[in-house]
């Protein structure tokens, strides 16, 4: 494993370390945790994933091809709280190695071509500003042009309030992007990771054809603090979890991360009319059985490639 991969792994995963699992408190060797896709082997707690880890877990080796996003207002209000907003952006870029909270790319999953977007909580709480909205739109546009399914993995605190009304209107923008998609037969799948809340959940994330949630993911429109301020209601333990959302009829499936990739592929094929319809599009269907066994090595390989590309991007940018 290269040094840069280690650095990225450390940066993109804050919970992994000597403190042990935040859910059960027991220590898991970092390698073992990585082999189990950052799911605690003892209690099943799903550790948060950074963009690079998510890509390396879901995407076929070397198939990721990023989609450029530019031409957005980066600080439309000249927002300043205790620090200027551009300084916060810069700090988030340096700590995550990402240009923005949303990464969009074309790729294949088990040979099935998709347009994949990842909204990363580790970048300013995965909040949706103009760049995220535009990223979502460009990704949707690519899916329409290439006629491939749209898959988005979300973790977000909601709107990017430093962009004021511009950020609220990104909800409208993503819904409009989906209006374009709705004129086609292209499926839209979303994976709600912990947490997906606020304006992201109340726009594109809850409008997917099939909504998958990761176990334990917190899903709500308003968080417990604001609720208590407004209604004086105490939020009970476990409220707003993926499991409860399933019971209430808000999501289709709760899928453990270890089965996510396989489940996604099955759905992607079914929602596009089945294997006989897709036969010519999928070059070769790989055996999913071998995936977990060799997962660690391949995941490392994948993340090394992605990490290299990310660092190159950062270096180019800082020059």
- In sequence order, what are the residues at sequence separation of 6 or more whose Cβ sits closer than 8 angstroms to the Cβ of residue 103? 51, 55, 66, 117, 118, 120, 135
The count of residues interacting with other proteins (CB under 8 A) is 84
Q: How far apart, in whole angstroms, are the C-alpha atoms of residue 92 and residue 180?
A: 32
Of 69, 75, 49, whose CA–CA distance to 164 is shortest?
Answer: 75
Cis check: omega of the bond before 266, within 30 degrees of 0:
no
Q: Does 166 contact other proteins by CB under 8 A?
A: yes
Q: Does 131 contact other proteins by CB under 8 A?
A: yes
Q: Does 84 contact other proteins by CB under 8 A?
A: no
Q: Looking at residues 31 to 60 of the shown chain, list those that interact with Zn ion (rule: CB under 5 A).
A: 40, 42-43, 45
In the list Zn ion, other proteins, none, the entry touching 59 (Cβ below 5 to 8 angstroms by class) is: none
Query: Position of tokens 């804050």?
Result: 14
Q: Does 29 contact Zn ion by CB under 5 A?
A: no
Q: Which of 23, 42, 168, 278 binds other proteins (CB under 8 A)?
A: 168
Q: Which of 19, 231, 237, 276 binds other proteins (CB under 8 A)?
A: 231
Strands 112-119 and 102-109 turn out to be: antiparallel
Is the distance from CB of 213 to CB of 46 less than 8 angstroms? no
In the list Zn ion, other proteins, none, the entry touching 45 (Cβ below 5 to 8 angstroms by class) is: Zn ion
Q: Which of 24, 87, 270, 277 binds Zn ion (CB under 5 A)?
A: 24
Q: How far apart, in whole angstroms, are the C-alpha atoms of residue 49 and residue 27?
A: 18
Length of the chain counted residue by residue: 319
Q: Which of 4, 15, 23, 259 binds Zn ion (CB under 5 A)?
A: 23
Q: Does 91 contact other proteins by CB under 8 A?
A: no
Chain residues binding Zn ion by CB under 5 A are: 21, 23-24, 40, 42-43, 45
């Amino acid at each position: 494993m290269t040094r840069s991969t280690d650095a990225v792994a450390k940066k993109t995963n804050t919970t992994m370390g000597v403190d042990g699992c935040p859910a059960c408190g027991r220590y898991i060797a970092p390698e073992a945790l990585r082999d189990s896709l950052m799911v605690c082997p003892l209690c099943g707690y799903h550790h948060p994933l950074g963009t690079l880890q998510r890509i390396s877990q879901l995407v076929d080796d070397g198939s990721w091809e990023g989609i450029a996003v530019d031409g957005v207002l980066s600080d439309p209000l000249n927002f300043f709280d205790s620090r200027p907003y551009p300084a916060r952006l810069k700090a988030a870029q340096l700590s995550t190695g990402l240009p923005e909270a949303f990464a969009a790319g074309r790729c294949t999953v088990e040979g099935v071509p998709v347009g994949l977007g990842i909204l990363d909580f580790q970048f300013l709480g995965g909040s949706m500003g103009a760049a995220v909205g535009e990223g979502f739109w460009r990704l949707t546009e690519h899916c329409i042009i290439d006629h491939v399914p749209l898959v988005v993995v979300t973790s977000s605190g909601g709107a990017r309030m430093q962009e004021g009304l511009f950020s609220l209107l990104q909800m409208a923008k993503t819904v409009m992007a989906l209006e374009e998609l709705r004129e086609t037969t292209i499926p839209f799948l979303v994976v709600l990771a912990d947490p997906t809340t606020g304006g992201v959940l109340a726009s594109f994330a809850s409008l997917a054809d099939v909504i998958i949630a990761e176990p334990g993911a917190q899903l709500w429109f308003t968080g417990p603090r604001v609720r208590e301020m407004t209604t004086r209601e105490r939020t009970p333990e476990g409220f707003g979890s993926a499991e409860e959302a399933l019971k209430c009829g808000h999501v289709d499936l709760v899928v453990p991360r270890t089965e996510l990739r396989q489940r996604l592929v099955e759905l992607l094929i079914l929602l596009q009319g089945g294997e006989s319809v897709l036969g010519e599009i999928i070059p070769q269907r790989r055996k999913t059985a071998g995936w977990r066994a060799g997962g660690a090595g391949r995941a490392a390989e994948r993340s090394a490639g992605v990490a290299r590309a990310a660092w190159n991007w950062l270096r180019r940018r800082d020059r």
